[in-house]
Chains A and B, each alone.
Chain A
Amino acid sequence: MAVSFPIVGGDFASAGAASRGLKEQLTRLGVAGEVLRRVMIAAYEAEMNVVIHARRGKLWARLNSGRIDLEVVDEGPGIPDVQQAMREGWSTAPAEARALGFGAGMGLPNIRKASDLFEIDSRPGKGTRVRSTIHLQKLAAAAALRNAIDMRPESCRNCLACLAACPTRAMRLRDGRPYILEHLCINCTACLAACRYGALGLREENPADAEAIAAGTLVVPLPFLGGFPQAGPAQVLAALRELGAREVRLTEEWEAGLLEESLRFARGPQRRATGPVLAPVCPAVVNLVETHFPSLLPQLAPFLSPVEAARDEYGLEALTVVAACPEQYMALHPGSLPGRLRVLSPSRAAAAVAKALKRVGKSEDREAQASEGEAEDGEASAAEAAPAAARTQEPPASSGARVLRISGLSHVLRALEKAEASALAGVELLVLYACDQGCWGSPLFPEDPFLARDRAGAVAVGRAPALPRGRPFQARPGQRLDESMPAAIRKLARIDELARSLPGRDCGICGAPTCACRAEDIVLGRVSGKGCPLEEEK
């Protein structure tokens, strides 16, 4: 379905008519509830921008399978500085609009917040185009697409670093803005680590950080405790208690249990596949296997990842988890469990802790030191009390097991290729982390991983039981070119032919990471071009 509605600039008497027309159409099609609410926010804000600023415009809406695409194009003055216009409170609306309650400088930020995908393209003197995509079933769609990366296009400088960094070639630049082909994205942190301008980040949804920390049990990754140059782990724990956390546990507790159980599985009778068992400790690596190495699926130990196990252990109890990466965020998304589960990004949790650390002060520092002593004596909470021997940084190799630990995506890719080629003889358990040095190297932690590790090295970690998976691992059709095999073969031939005609510089200037990706984008209709834009210019 596709509909369009004209918008007349300056006509306040008819303002809202386009959005109302769209609502009528969508309601007839059964769109309702939160999805309709979000569509209306985006449509109305975009429509009012045209009424207030432009001569005329048009609202387009397309209902595709599973999502609604909105596009509002206007003939107006354009926006000289889009980045500035995206800031909350920045407005050039005339007094007439402000008197009616408009022009608060919240229009574009509101559209972005309401959208799953937001793009804006503006040319001074020509006009502005705003695009918004809203999934009909946001949570289900997000879970299926496994993407929790928030794009802030206004911060993008077109440096192309994310294109080069993405190991699955999921990144694109469209109209000079970052764009992720979600079916290819494995939610690793490569693009986040590559972006120096804050154009990519973790999707945030919790409004009150301190409130989330005080909600009940708090689960934090060990690197979080080591991430404060001004305070040791014991002081951070004291600050978390000061913020109201009833109990603090470490993600690594479930990781320790998972590794132990995975090793037991590798040696047990229920194991059917040959080759090393893959411990599903890093969910981004699991995504990578499901997308690019489906032949290795039988080698994945059938357990939940550490954060999923923490989530299920607490069930409907109040639980807040500090996620170390986008994939942990997705696994823990509040919509994925009908309990009182909240997820915080490390930066937001760290901001709350930093404030609490100031409040704790010197006297509390002494108390915290005492608590550290208690923790070592095994009398405090699980995160503080477990025996040091259970530390997950040490592989569970006490029984002589051959455990191979590899971190960093380029190394992980090579290891998976070797596993696929049966070239890892003798390895019983393969433990792979997408981030360099495991979660310590996640770009969501601002502290240097070596320093954080040094600081948090004294913290002892307990061991929580591994939980079996309810659903088996499944291959994801991320790379499939078409549902139909003959059609896929034809498309592949066209892609190969087109790719050969491209210069092969893989410069990224077209917005695709390689010329082959450019060819694929053209053949699959993702972009409207015909070849290399540089060559076409010549």
Chain B
Amino acid sequence: MTLQELARRSGTRLVLPGRHPGGQIARVIAGDRMSDLLERAGPDTLLVTRLANPHLFRMAELMDVPGICLVRHPEPGPGLLEAACACGAGLLVAGGELEETRAALERCLGPAQAEARP
């Protein structure tokens, strides 16, 4: 499922479409520790996190992550947007809490997420 479609279905706000708007999201990974996100991140994952800092985007770039969803963070500042643009990942913003947002996104992915699991 594309990031745009996921945003539309989940009610999250698409701030940046990312460098590859056609990229497919198959898994949602939520967490607030960089190592946890790093270990599981990949080219088919959407990272859901409270970590609204440029390091998150640099890490996402290294791991070819197609999208990031920031929770409890309705308005990312210019510095964050710049980092997001530079890393090429799409950016969603959700008003809810971490687990709540993760669950909502997973519900939207539905069968796609299930298929992605080994």
A residues neighboring B (CB under 8 Å)? 12, 15-16, 19-20, 23, 37, 40-41, 44-45, 48, 100-102, 104, 106-107, 110, 113-114
Q: Provided the pairs A101-B33, A107-B35, A110-B38 are in contact, do residues A40 and B53 lie with their beta carbons within 8 angstroms?
A: no
> Are A110 and B55 in contact, with the CB atoms below 8 A?
no
**Closest chain B residue, CB of each to CB of A102:** B34
- Which of B39, B42, B53 gathers most chain A CB within 10 Å? B39
> Are A20 and B53 in contact, with the CB atoms below 8 A?
no
- Distance of A163 Cα from B38 Cα, bound (Å): 36
- Distance of A102 Cα from B51 Cα, bound (Å): 10
Q: In the assembled complex, which residues on chain B have CB atoms less than 8 Å from the CB atom of A44? A: 38, 59, 62
Convert B43-71 into 0s and 1s, putting 1 for each residue whose CB lies closer than 8 angstroms to a CB of A: 00000010101011011011110000000
Q: In the assembled complex, which residues on chain B have CB atoms less than 8 Å from the CB atom of A23? A: 62
**Closest chain A residue, CB of each to CB of B31:** A101
A16, A45, A114: the one within 8 Å of B58 (CB): A16
Q: Provided the pairs A100-B34, A106-B35 are in contact, do residues A15 and B55 lie with their beta carbons within 8 angstroms?
A: yes
Q: Shortest Cβ distance from A316 into chain B, in angstroms? A: 15
Interface positions, chain B 69-102, Cβ under 8 Å from A, are none
B residues neighboring A (CB under 8 Å)? 32-39, 42, 49, 51, 53, 55-56, 58-59, 61-64
Q: Provided the pairs A40-B63, A101-B33, A101-B51 are in contact, do residues A20 and B58 lie with their beta carbons within 8 angstroms?
A: yes
> Are B42 and A37 in contact, with the CB atoms below 8 A?
yes
Q: Shortest Cβ distance from A120 into chain B, in angstroms? A: 16
> Are A106 and B58 in contact, with the CB atoms below 8 A?
no
Q: In the assembled complex, which residues on chain B have CB atoms less than 8 Å from the CB atom of A114? A: 39
- Distance of A100 Cα from B61 Cα, bound (Å): 17
- Distance of A12 Cα from B83 Cα, bound (Å): 14
**Closest chain A residue, CB of each to CB of B33:** A104
B35, B42, B56: the one within 8 Å of A45 (CB): B35
Q: In the assembled complex, which residues on chain A have CB atoms less than 8 Å from the CB atom of B32? A: 101
Q: Shortest Cβ distance from A208 into chain B, in angstroms? A: 9
Q: Show 5 residue pairs from A and B whose CB-CB distance is below 8 angstroms, ordered by the A residue.
A: A37-B42, A41-B38, A100-B53, A104-B36, A110-B39
Q: Shortest Cβ distance from A391 into chain B, in angstroms? A: 36
Q: In the assembled complex, which residues on chain A have CB atoms less than 8 Å from the CB atom of B33? A: 101, 104, 106
> Are B55 and A12 in contact, with the CB atoms below 8 A?
yes
> Are A100 and B39 in contact, with the CB atoms below 8 A?
no
**Closest chain B residue, CB of each to CB of A40:** B62
- Distance of A295 Cα from B42 Cα, bound (Å): 48
B38, B42, B55, B63: the one within 8 Å of A100 (CB): B55
> Are A113 and B39 in contact, with the CB atoms below 8 A?
yes
> Are B58 and A101 in contact, with the CB atoms below 8 A?
no
Q: In the assembled complex, which residues on chain A have CB atoms less than 8 Å from the CB atom of B42? A: 37
**Closest chain A residue, CB of each to CB of B53:** A100
> Are B55 and A101 in contact, with the CB atoms below 8 A?
yes
Q: In the assembled complex, which residues on chain B have CB atoms less than 8 Å from the CB atom of A20? A: 58, 61-62
> Are A16 and B62 in contact, with the CB atoms below 8 A?
yes
> Are B62 and A101 in contact, with the CB atoms below 8 A?
no
Q: Shortest Cβ distance from B7 into chain A, in angstroms? A: 23
**Closest chain A residue, CB of each to CB of B43:** A37
Q: Provided the pairs A15-B55, A41-B39 are in contact, do residues A101 and B63 lie with their beta carbons within 8 angstroms?
A: no
- Which of A15, A44, A110, A114 gathers most chain B CB within 10 Å? A44
> Are A19 and B51 in contact, with the CB atoms below 8 A?
no
Q: Shortest Cβ distance from B59 into chain A, in angstroms? A: 6
> Are A101 and B39 in contact, with the CB atoms below 8 A?
no
- Distance of A110 Cα from B39 Cα, bound (Å): 7
Q: In the assembled complex, which residues on chain A have CB atoms less than 8 Å from the CB atom of B38? A: 41, 44-45, 110
> Are A104 and B35 in contact, with the CB atoms below 8 A?
yes
Q: In the assembled complex, which residues on chain A have CB atoms less than 8 Å from the CB atom of B53? A: 100-101
4 smallest beta-carbon distances between A and B, as pairs? A106-B35, A16-B58, A101-B34, A104-B33
Q: In the assembled complex, which residues on chain B have CB atoms less than 8 Å from the CB atom of A48? A: 34
> Are A104 and B34 in contact, with the CB atoms below 8 A?
yes
**Closest chain B residue, CB of each to CB of A99:** B53
